[in-house]
Amino acid sequence: MTKLSVNINKLATLRNSRGGNVPNLIESAKNIESFGAQGITIHPRPDERHIRYQDARDLKDVVTTEFNIEGNPVAKFINLVLEVKPTQVTLVPDAEDAITSNAGWDTIKHKNFLIDVIQTFKSAGIRTSIFVDPHTKMVEGAAKVGTDRIELYTENFAKQFAVGKKNESIKPYMEASKVAEEIGLGVNAGHDLNLENVKFFKENIPNLLEVSIGHALICESIYMGIENVVNMYLHRLK
């Protein structure tokens, strides 16, 4: 079964909008795990507009499943991850002012930088994953920097799926995941996956270890309830 890691950034955005502690991020993470999710993901950004760095520290002793921290490995982020020591760190090359992640790493151009950062995290016993577009050269480059896993950036798949081009949209992901498996990389995926497209994606990527879903899952939960939605994802990922 592919694991479901729930990204709780949007809950932090809602909390921050009123300046209080509603919804309570700690209790929300506990509840989401109790509903069956196998992981919690957070993506703190330098401006802390949703997840705050202190949230990562507070969640450290709360999350009992897999704890995944995503982000651009600037010095502040690296120090936070080494302090918290989550199950997994996912490196994402997003600019400080990015609304959301919008591209994967160029694993060839940034090879030396990624080698150094990944070795830093692996030396601390933290599993590493890097965000990549579904291009075989980028996947092959990922293996050369020493990462444990890749996370396939699925925005393009989601956009094409939504306009009825699901068979065309999945092909580069199938090829990329096949290459990853052949060279010994684990495969995660995330970005714009939702209840409509995640089952098809999973069925065509048999070596998919984990999906990280936040925005869509929280939006769907407004209408159907978060416990129900978490279980709907789990059913689709079997």
The single residue of 43, 50, 210, 220 carrying the catalytic annotation is 43
Q: Can you give the three-state secondary structure of the chain, one letter per residue?
A: CCEEEEECHHHHHHHHCCCCCCCCHHHHHHHHHHCCCCEEEECCCCCCCCCCHHHHHHHCCCCCCEEEEEECCCHHHHHHHHHHCCCEEEECCCCCCCCCCCCCCCCCCCHHHHHHHHHHHHHCCCEEEEEECCCHHHHHHHHHHCCCEEEEECHHHHHHHHCCCHHHHHHHHHHHHHHHHHCCCEEEEECCCCCCCHHHHHHHCCCEEEEEECHHHHHHHHHHCHHHHHHHHHHHCC
Tell me if residue 191 is catalytic.
yes
Tell me if residue 70 is catalytic.
yes
The single residue of 33, 66, 191, 210 carrying the catalytic annotation is 191
The single residue of 33, 66, 70, 151 carrying the catalytic annotation is 70
Active site positions, annotated: 43, 70, 191
